Structure 1
Amino acid sequence: MHRIGQLYTFALLVLLLLPLGAHGQKNWDAAIDAKLKQTLLTHKDFVSYPNIAANTDDMMVNVKVATDYFEARGFEVSLLESDGLPVFFAELTVDPKATTLLYYLHLDGQAVNPDNWDQEDPFKPVLKQEGQSGNWETISWDRLNGDIDMDWRIFGRAAADDKAPISMLLAAMDILKESGEQPKHNLKVILDLQEEAGSEAFLSTLEKYSDRYAADYMLILDGPAHNSNQPTLTFGCRGIARFSITTYGAELPQHSGHYGNVAPNPVFTLSQLLASMKGPDGRVLIDGYYEGIELTEAELAILNAVPDDQQEIVTKLGLSEAEQVAATYQLAMQYPSLNIRHIETSWKGPGLKTIIPEWARAHFDVRLVAETDGAALLEKIKAHIKKQGYYLIDRAPTAEERLTYSKIVSFDGNAGVNAFRTDMASPFGLQLSDAITASFGQPPVRIRTMGGTVPIIPAVNQLEIPAIIVPLVNMDNNQHNPNENIRIGNIRDGIKVILSILSTSFEN
């Protein structure tokens, strides 16, 4: 472990000491500014096409629009058959001997309820500025003819998630061409048409089209950057497993007057079991739950370098203090979580009843990290339940089992999808960091593991391509919610980040 720590430290020093022009990065600011108005108007048009995956006709209109965009920039576009909507696949080969990067983005957006939006139609994008009261006020698109404020925002469904990175990539390609240059690596681009529905259609194509997807490295252009809006690289994300546990009382719901003090209430039984799983400080008490998680001094230094304000994070959550799994937000993301997402009892009717429920059930989700396998962690949870003296089954108990065992728990689990993480000191990670450093004059924010789970983790694991997430949109973009928006400053910086990437050959 000491040797690994030395390697991480050396790699970090190399990154910090490299001259800014190490990869021949040029100053793209003037070219981006000259292109910004047209980029914003093109993005306005792009966002105006409804893109809810459940509406196949709308999605195929988006495919036609995207095909025109990419073919105009020299890409060869294919539609790959899947178990659902096709996968949009574009290729641009600049040199058969060059490194190939697989870019993943998605074309669909979340469903909308127009009544909850502060504009006429979520698919009629509007330009807004923040007023003195903190409200967002609509301004004319003609304002783009003057000085463009980087804090203005475009509001519309998919304005950020995930059409903004697509527009940034297209604009970067244009700027590169107008500068008389071309990418220094080959590009393969996937636009997933059903990411918001779980990416099952794309995932169904992995084996059939593994040769088409083959690449040296993978970039995932999705998600929000660090809340400082600095260029950000995310090297992995947590996976997710799910399970439910049910405790039992009498065979049928009973009157609490007649049988209170006689029939055990399964809610109390459940609460005692739940309390055994987590301590008051928030740390999980299940044996071996955090097993295998060790952080070197160099890794700790990278995590602590992320410009988070821990107290601000806690305060914004409306809390007096955070759980004590780890000292900071970034450190906490390196450990698996244990979350109860819903609790229910056998009574489903309206109003309150004076009954003792027949059963009580808790539904959990477990966020996994790279060191933890979902199936193995579920086995540890089951072992913990047995250790508490419960008779554990995977179905409802029989009448005979009810008469035999006083403590019964049924367990229903799904190991889900495991996490992924690319080594922060890998050649890909260091070259990507160096390219952005050369363009921006300072290193990007480097996130070891983000808290959420992206649907395409199985693709990262199955294709066995080193993958890094390059999140480009503003953190406060109202992703998946009404009034989704993209900050213009993030569009500008995102184009610059992608130009930095396109201008890098990424040697193996």
Structure 2
Amino acid sequence: MADTVQYDTYFKENRERHLQELQAFLSIPSISSLPSHQADMERAAKWLTTELMAAGMENAIVLQTAGHPVVYAEWLNAPDKPTVLIYGHYDVQPVDPLALWDTPPFEPTIRDEKLYARGATDDKGQLFMHIKAIEALMACRGELPVNIKVCFEGEEEIASPHFEAFVAENQDLLAADVVVISDTPLWEAGQPAIYYGLKGLCGLQIDLRGQKEDLHSGFFGGLVHNPLHAMAQLLASLVAEDGRIAIEGFYDDVKSLSEEEKTAFARIPYDAEATRESLGVESLFGEPEYSALERNWARPTLDINGMWGGFQGEGTKTVIPAEAHAKITCRLVDGQVPERILEKIEQHLQKHKPAGMTVSTSWLPGKASPYSTPVSHPAIQAAARAYIATYGAEPLYTRVGGTIPAVEVFHRLMHLPIVLMGFGMPDENYHAPNEHFYLVNFDTGLRTICCFLDEIAGLTSING
């Protein structure tokens, strides 16, 4: 077996080629949310199969779904070794506002050892690193230390609407011992982080109706309740003044943080005041009995994402609108079930609806349950050792307030442990203009992935 020096040399000797290949990948505008880019989605999927086969993987294929395709490949020639399933997504966010980009989003550009392009860090750049790690191991050793399957999705940026059905139908094909995903950031430069917990997600639209049609505010003012006023009152009833969610039973199933986790949170170098300043707000807000990190990572939230109704053009139109609308989403924590939370919200809305109004609701797509893996899990600790070997720093074990739908799907349907070991940085503008990827983490991340696969190969039991 070759040592790490050998594939370190390989990465250095092939760096320019690898970056050129990544730039070719990033130049494909694989925007999943826009129908006009359907052909680009297909082109990106086919590009990946070609790269996977060139790296040494076998049976690289494009699998169609009811939406955008999934790319699958495998290398299963390591008897008695674990099987690692690598997940990533090749779709990207839209690029608006285009005028704020310093260089065109699909013309990748390297400046100051940063690679600028849409998808550079989320998630094409990080996905691509796994392909190149496989290539390096195959080139240096002629084999991989573990069995590997890859599953690259094309709909993550639109909440993975068809991914659950795909996994449910292909559980035998995707069967593995552990899933590894690189779609998260380091804590800061030189400080890796392993995300062991994600929040769940659910949401609904509220439609509030009063009279049968819009009314002249002079002729009918003082006679009917204004649906926009009523919607403001109804939405205000959802959250108390101190930030606590005021829906009956909302917190019933929330699992409290252990004392060990609270202690671990306190050790994380998080500066709440710096966050406040960077956001440009007078103060942070939320349940006062919990720290900022606890509120963001381990307490459920409810947010109004949008509300509309009535006249919204320039000037004035003296009208009492007939209806008002709003969308809300909740980020959920361990113990909470999306469907139960949505039912509790609906019960609250009906109980508190203003007089003269009818309330109807519709659940929004993209529900996901919360997820967490014990930090003591052998696969998590294998990732920690890989980070230490390459970054020279013990990773922080953190939760995150966001949701990756695929994580919850793999966990719920296949009962697989998931290792979230990313190489991005918090300031790389993912989903925003001038998205970029620090190339120092591209270089170090390639070595980390190789070390991780070696660490997994050495486990006597991956399930602890």
Alignment equivalent of 1:470, drawn from 416, 421, 445: 421
Q: Secondary structure at 1:245's aligned position in 2?
A: strand
Report the Cα distance in structure 2 between the residues aligned to 1:476 and 1:68, rounded to whole angstroms. Answer: 32
Deviates more, 1:283-292 or 1:28-37: 28-37
Structure 1 position 358 matched with structure 2 position 322:
yes
Alignment equivalent of 1:169, drawn from 120, 130, 141: 130
Alignment equivalent of 1:90, drawn from 73, 97, 107: 73
What TM-score do you get using the length of structure 2 for normalisation? Answer: 0.86
The residue aligned with 1:451 is: 401
- Cα offset for 1:348? 5.8
Alignment equivalent of 2:87, drawn from 104, 107, 115: 104
1:358-407 CA distance string (max 9 Å, x none): 2333221111223211111122223333444x48xxxxxxxxxxxxx645
Report the Cα distance in structure 2 between the residues aligned to 1:25 and 1:310, rounded to whole angstroms. Answer: 43
1:182-236 CA distance string (max 9 Å, x none): 5432111112133334433443322332101001111122233334452221123
CA contact (8 A) 1:114 1:121 kept: no
Amino acid at match of 2:84: L
CA contact (8 A) 1:240 1:365 kept: yes
Distance change >3 Å, CA 51–CA 342, structure 1 → 2: closer
Distance change >3 Å, CA 268–CA 164, structure 1 → 2: same
The residue aligned with 1:188 is: 149
Distance change >3 Å, CA 188–CA 358, structure 1 → 2: same
Report the Cα distance in structure 1 between the residues aligned to 2:97 and 2:251, rounded to whole angstroms. Answer: 44
Alignment equivalent of 1:434, drawn from 382, 385, 397: 385
Structure 1 position 413 matched with structure 2 position 353:
no
Report the Cα distance in structure 1 between the residues aligned to 2:356 and 2:27, rounded to whole angstroms. Answer: 60
CA contact (8 A) 2:238 2:247 kept: yes
Distance change >3 Å, CA 230–CA 264, structure 1 → 2: same
Instruction: Give the aligned length.
Output: 448
CA contact (8 A) 1:26 1:439 kept: no
CA contact (8 A) 1:231 1:497 kept: no
Report the Cα distance in structure 2 between the residues aligned to 1:261 and 1:433, rounded to whole angstroms. Answer: 65
The residue aligned with 2:272 is: 310
1:290-348 CA distance string (max 9 Å, x none): 23321111111232333322111111111121113231235422122111111122446
CA contact (8 A) 1:343 1:361 kept: yes
- Cα offset for 1:238? 1.9
The residue aligned with 1:135 is: none
- Cα offset for 1:161? 2.0
The residue aligned with 2:47 is: 65
The residue aligned with 1:41 is: 20
Where structure 1 has 5 or more consecutive residues not aligned to the other structure, the ranges are: 1-23, 130-151, 392-404
Alignment equivalent of 2:436, drawn from 468, 475, 485: 485
CA contact (8 A) 1:231 1:493 kept: no
1:108-127 CA distance string (max 9 Å, x none): 22333594254564322111
Amino acid at match of 1:310: A
Equivalent residue runs for 1:259-278 within 5 Å = 259-278=220-239
The residue aligned with 2:105 is: 122
Q: Secondary structure at 1:190's aligned position in 2?
A: strand
Amino acid at match of 2:430: Q
Pick the structure with greater CA Rg: 1
Amino acid at match of 2:418: A
Distance change >3 Å, CA 198–CA 385, structure 1 → 2: closer
CA contact (8 A) 1:25 1:503 kept: no
The residue aligned with 1:500 is: 451
- Cα offset for 1:101? 1.0
State the identity as a percent. 28
Alignment equivalent of 1:74, drawn from 48, 52, 56: 56
Structure 1 position 300 matched with structure 2 position 251:
no
Amino acid at match of 1:362: A
Report the Cα distance in structure 1 between the residues aligned to 2:11 and 2:273, rounded to whole angstroms. Answer: 36
Amino acid at match of 2:401: G
Deviates more, 1:241-250 or 1:272-281: 241-250
- Cα offset for 1:26? 5.3
- Cα offset for 1:488? 0.9
Deviates more, 1:352-361 or 1:308-317: 352-361
CA contact (8 A) 1:160 1:477 kept: yes
The residue aligned with 1:345 is: 309
Q: Secondary structure at 1:252's aligned position in 2?
A: coil
- Cα offset for 1:459? 4.0
Alignment equivalent of 1:284, drawn from 226, 230, 245: 245
Deviates more, 1:97-106 or 1:406-415: 406-415
Q: Secondary structure at 2:20's aligned position in 1?
A: helix
Alignment equivalent of 2:171, drawn from 210, 231, 239: 210
Distance change >3 Å, CA 107–CA 302, structure 1 → 2: same
Distance change >3 Å, CA 362–CA 174, structure 1 → 2: closer
Distance change >3 Å, CA 229–CA 356, structure 1 → 2: farther
1:123-165 CA distance string (max 9 Å, x none): 2211113xxxxxxxxxxxxxxxxxxxxxx21112222222211
Where structure 2 has 5 or more consecutive residues not aligned to the other structure, the ranges are: none
CA contact (8 A) 2:208 2:359 kept: yes
Amino acid at match of 1:409: V
Alignment equivalent of 1:378, drawn from 333, 338, 342: 342
Structure 1 position 154 matched with structure 2 position 115:
yes
Q: Secondary structure at 2:265's aligned position in 1?
A: helix
- Cα offset for 1:487? 1.1
Alignment equivalent of 2:160, drawn from 190, 196, 199: 199
- Cα offset for 1:30? 6.1
The residue aligned with 1:17 is: none
- The root-mean-square deviation of aligned C-alpha atoms, in Å, is 2.8
CA contact (8 A) 2:201 2:332 kept: yes
Q: Secondary structure at 1:72's aligned position in 2?
A: helix
